[in-house]
Chain A
């Protein structure tokens, strides 16, 4: 039987919480799900995960409402919880209180991050399978390695990938916003790109395999054009799609 560690601690008591993976020798997974607020994750040399709630106006106000000589220790919803089980650390916030989270993780960690409102997702210096979902905000990944599956609705997606895991497809999708990805210059990949109302740019030498353009109808049906192109001879598929925005595929 596998030993299962389980930690559950309300953050309000400490403001910052440090959690260890039950098996630090294998890359762990950090999952974050919040409804409102930003998520910033950075890879560090350490082996623990450190979660910090940045003072949001609502939170600071509530804290300041504590009577003299007392401090707010919880209640009222919106607490952030951190739990570890089988090498997965889950960070969740209850309710719709705005939470801006800043999280330090070991440099090799798989990430699954989700937020909805009033915030961006930023990831820096992490290697692993990365999944990021936002709705009303941007996604910015800097110096990440591994594989990336990212989508938002209203916001830009930026990603600088230093190294790709072999044989892992990736995807970047938004509705309203640009997609700007920088890939290793020797990356073998097949790009499937579609922007309904924006241009597509690249400094890679692309070998266009197919291009499909749908005609406009008399009442202005927006044309759909999907371009499939190989870089460095082709490889795992990278999907890039936006409706209102430009697409940039840059060579590092």
Chain B
């Protein structure tokens, strides 16, 4: 699949209309070609977060009205979402089968954003992965895929700065049991002290008492950095207060 994938390919991929082979090839391509994902990202980067302006909604509904009776070609929902996202003017060029519900469309845009964030977290460049992490903060309630991808970043990303940013991004989900369990589970003695300290701070902030055994282990370990041991001991005191 040479070159940048066309919008239709993204649409087919998102709508699950590709064959298994096509899907695999598309994913391989997106993984191997930074530019495609970055390009898609760049085009969607300036999307309004969750609240399109009333003007956009009004113009879109006008568009729907004017298009309802015209002879139209079937364009998949995801394509419609991409057009809505990419810009109102694309809609003037390509006739669109009108979706009935703007809320559903908004949901599609949101899903697309989340897909983009997950793909950003797999980029080769640490700065691009950082951008994925920071962008997730603009979502009010990221879906499970985004949260899982952030947790994966905390555990496995090759760059310490990207992991630290992911820990920060997940700190707002202090009520999420999966996040807490993963923070406590990620506390390993051999890890970077920067990551260890960030995890300890997050666990204290979440008042997660179940983290106490992991903290005790860290505080007692001989292979752990001195500042980390101190931090772990202070954290235990705070959790037991």
A and B: bona fide binding partners = yes
Which of A10-18, A47-55, A170-178 sits within the interface?
A170-178
Q: List 14 A-B contacts (CB under 8 A).
A: A129-B125, A150-B161, A169-B134, A171-B164, A173-B194, A175-B197, A175-B227, A217-B237, A221-B238, A222-B234, A224-B201, A237-B134, A239-B165, A243-B227
Determine if A173 and B45 form an interchain contact, defined as CB atoms under 8 angstroms apart. Answer: no
Q: Which residues of B contact A221 (CB under 8 A)?
A: 234, 237-238
Cβ-defined partner of B192 (8 Å) among A131, A153, A217, A236: A153
Contact (A173, B161) CB under 8 Å given A129-B125, A149-B127: yes
A88 to chain B, nearest CB (A): 10
Give the docked Cα–Cα distance between A133 and B193 (Å): 14
Interface residues on A, range: 20 to 34
B47 to chain A, nearest CB (A): 14
Q: Which residues of A contact B134 (CB under 8 A)?
A: 169, 237
Q: Mark A183-224, 1 if CB is under 8 A from B, else 0.
A: 000000000000000000000000000000000010111101
User: Does chain A have a CB within 8 A of B159?
Assistant: yes
B212 to chain A, nearest CB (A): 16
Determine if A220 and B161 form an interchain contact, defined as CB atoms under 8 angstroms apart. Answer: no
Interface residues on B, range: 20 to 34
User: Does chain B have a CB within 8 A of A168?
Assistant: yes
Determine if A219 and B234 form an interchain contact, defined as CB atoms under 8 angstroms apart. Answer: yes
Q: Mark B128-159, 1 if CB is under 8 A from A, else 0.
A: 10110010000000000000000000000001
User: Does chain B have a CB within 8 A of A151?
Assistant: yes
Cβ-defined partner of A171 (8 Å) among B165, B193, B201: B165
User: Does chain A have a CB within 8 A of B206?
Assistant: no
B133 and chain A: residue at smallest CB distance: A169
Q: Mark B205-241, 1 if CB is under 8 A from A, else 0.
A: 0000000000000000000010100000010011001
Give the docked Cα–Cα distance between A170 and B134 (Å): 11
Q: Which residues of B contact A169 (CB under 8 A)?
A: 127, 130-131, 134
Q: Which residues of B contact A168 (CB under 8 A)?
A: 127-128, 131
Give the docked Cα–Cα distance between A219 and B234 (Å): 8
Q: Which residues of A contact B238 (CB under 8 A)?
A: 217, 221
Determine if A241 and B45 form an interchain contact, defined as CB atoms under 8 angstroms apart. Answer: no
User: Does chain B have a CB within 8 A of A147?
Assistant: yes
Q: Which residues of B contact A65 (CB under 8 A)?
A: none
Give the docked Cα–Cα distance between A241 and B227 (Å): 15
Q: Which residues of A contact B165 (CB under 8 A)?
A: 171, 239
Q: Which residues of A contact B64 (CB under 8 A)?
A: none
A86 and chain B: residue at smallest CB distance: B32
Determine if A239 and B127 form an interchain contact, defined as CB atoms under 8 angstroms apart. Answer: no
Determine if B193 and A149 form an interchain contact, defined as CB atoms under 8 angstroms apart. Answer: no
Given A171-B164, A237-B130, 14 further pairs, Cβ under 8 A: A131-B159, A149-B127, A150-B161, A151-B161, A151-B194, A153-B193, A167-B45, A171-B130, A175-B225, A175-B227, A217-B234, A239-B161, A241-B164, A243-B197
